[in-house]
Amino acid sequence: MWPDAVTRLSRHALTMFPPPFKAKVVEPISLRSPEARRSALADAGYNTFLLRSEDVFIDLLTDSGTSAVSQEQRAAMELGDEAYAGSRSFFRLEQAVRDLYGFRHVIPTHQGRGAEHLLARLLVRPGQLVPSNLYFTTSRAHVELAGGVWVDVAVPEACDPTDAHPFKGNIDLPALVRVLREAERDGIAFVRQEACVNMAGGQPFSIANLRAVRAVTREQGVPLILDATRISENAVFIKDREPGWNDEPLPALIRAIAAESDGAIFSSKKDHFVPIGGVLAVNDDRLAERARELVVVYEGFPHYGGLAGHDMEALAQGIRESADERTVRHYVGQVAYLGRLLADAGVPIVVPVGAHGVFLDAKRFLPQIPQEQFPAQALAAAVYLAGGVRSMERGIVSGQHGEEPYDGLELVRLTLPRRVYGEEHLRYVAETIISLLDHAEKIPGLRMAYAPEYLRFFQARFEPLAPFPDPATWATVRGATAPRRRSARAEGRSRPRAADRRRTSA
Ligand code: P61
């Protein structure tokens, strides 16, 4: 049992409780000079994905594959069985997935999108719909490459950064029912519900909502597939926010969530603490058989699916650690702490603070930049210039669909790797961003100079429409926790939502 006092601290995040681990191996990091950051950013085409990590001081680009492995994971890696077929490491991984999540069939993949690819090829036929709570970039891309049509059925609160709804990862049931009823016979490939919806700020769903979705999909004979990449944090939010679940042990709750679905994909690079790996897990025998037929074409033999034996050992151990409540609580507590530092200083962020990062609301931070000039991309560039902190755009660059107009969320994600940074790092990050508030009106918009055909945000290049202010003159660090007047930027609401919601009337 986690002592009460500690639970309280993690919930009311201005004092963090100590992490349930300590460092044994460290990696040096250093802050480049303002001039060096300017030139690194220009070389990267003002896209933080294209920065070299040696030019980054605090790397909050992603929690994907960037967490610290445990000593138990490292020890397990020594046991890696690199047999091409029948590897002992595969069977240990299979057991770990079955034990925690209860799925019968386990197909390893090189990472999450490998599992998404298999799933889309297995379940999606041209013209079929995939209703989902919002979207994720790679998930949607694979569905569309298979000829499917993505349909957003998230609750409307998901796209309002100022709405403190506790379960913004819920599916809008009337909208889902409408889509299912209006679809042609056999017109739905599957329904997808993502734990801690990434694009809305890491927002959880409730068990009640998942169960209702399950009932509706069962009635219609449509598979319900979880994106369970961040299921552990979702389970902790359920414990804290949904009546009746507070005393449930975390592993039992995670299993109860998984039991409401027909299958799941995992990017194991997040909750499972591994640098690489993913899983497709299903209950249906025939679907699993077909997945094993396909995995040999795209990933490798079904007993490794693109992973080395030592990767599967680290993953099996990581799965067990992902259900450790102290570890998960510490992580969401860290994210909440950073959110609190920023919100208290008047920085406009998405509320409630979600699972894996604090999301800045660029529409309120930089109201002078119209969305066609990529305010979140510009803000991510400015955050790097200000203090060597790397973040990620989650706005029009990531979310616009082809040439369709986009006026949806415009966010910058400050994502925390698991078990990596400490309180001093978080305070530095907060101070860097708070220092930007005073210079926000000088940050210029951008022009996109190059956009690749698929998932453009990864490799697009930009040019500033006016010079960025000189970071040497703006990085006045103030106390991150010093009381500060709430800025007008923090008070304003951002524009209503979202032409990116692709409801169908078919
Ligand atoms: C991330 F900018 N997420 O959040 P893979 N489902 C979910 C994910 O969060 C996810 C995948 C599937 C990443 C990496 C990333 O637009 C981006 O193991 C809920 O990355 O293949 C990945 O899993 C895919 C960053 C992916 C992005 C796509 O940072």
- In tens, the pLDDT along 225-250 reads 999 999 999 999 999 999 999 999 99
Is 457 marked active-site?
Answer: yes
Amino acid identity for residue 316 in this structure = A
d(CA 244, CA 448): 49
Ligand 1 pocket mutation, candidates 130, 132, 266, 267, criterion most atoms within 8 A of CB: 267
**Protein residue closest via CA to atom 23 of ligand 1:** 112
Give the number of the atom of ligand 1 that is nearest the alpha carbon of residue 115. 21
- pLDDT band at 144, cuts 50/70/90? very high
Closest CA to 305 of 104, 112, 141: 112
Active site residue 247: no
> How many Å lie between the centroid of ligand 1 and the Cα of residue 64?
7
Residue 382 confidence (pLDDT): 98
pLDDT range class, residue 60, cuts 50, 70, 90: very high
Residues 187-209 have pLDDT tens digits of 999 999 999 999 999 999 999 99
Please tell me which residue, 385 or 491, carries the higher pLDDT value: 385
How does residue 473 score in pLDDT terms, banded at 50, 70 and 90? Answer: confident
> Is 450 known to be catalytic?
no
Give the ligand 1 atom nearest the CA of 65.
18
**Could you read off the pLDDT of 290-315 as tens digits, one per residue?**
999 999 999 999 999 999 999 999 99
Helix (H) or strand (E) holding 142: helix 137-145
CA distance 490 to 506: 39
Cα distance between residue 146 and residue 162, in whole Å: 35
What is the number of the ligand 1 atom nearest to the C-alpha of 415? 29
Which atom of ligand 1 approaches the CA of 278 most closely?
18
201 against 499, higher pLDDT = 201
Residue nearest to atom 7 of ligand 1 (CA): 229
**What is the model's pLDDT at position 387?**
97
Res 478 pLDDT > 50: no
Tokens linked to 13: 């995040």
Atom 16 (ligand 1): residue with closest C-alpha? Answer: 137
pLDDT of 490 reads: 47
Mean pLDDT (the chain) is: 92
- pLDDT band (50, 70, 90) for residue 116: very high
Q: Radius of gyration over alpha carbons of the chain, in Å?
A: 22
Which phi and psi angles does 325 have, rounded to 5°?
A: -60, -35
Residue of 15, 43, 84, 503 with catalytic role: 84
Which residue minimizes the CA distance to atom 24 of ligand 1?
112
Of the pLDDT bands very low, low, confident and very high (cuts 50, 70, 90), residue 80 is: very high
Closest CA to 481 of 340, 307, 322, 353: 340
Pocket residues for ligand 1 (CB within 6 Å)? 62, 64, 111-113, 136-139, 194, 198, 227, 229, 267, 269, 278, 392, 398
User: Cα(336)–Cα(233) distance, rounded to whole angstroms?
Assistant: 12
d(C-alpha 451, C-alpha 427), whole Å = 35
Q: With CA atoms as reference, report the closest residue to 63 among 372, 392, 333.
A: 392
pLDDT computed for residue 15 by the predictor: 63
Global pTM reads 0.93
Residue 32 tokens read as: 């480049």
Weakest-pLDDT range from 69-73, 156-160, 466-470, 477-481: 477-481
138 CA → ligand 1 middle, Å? 7
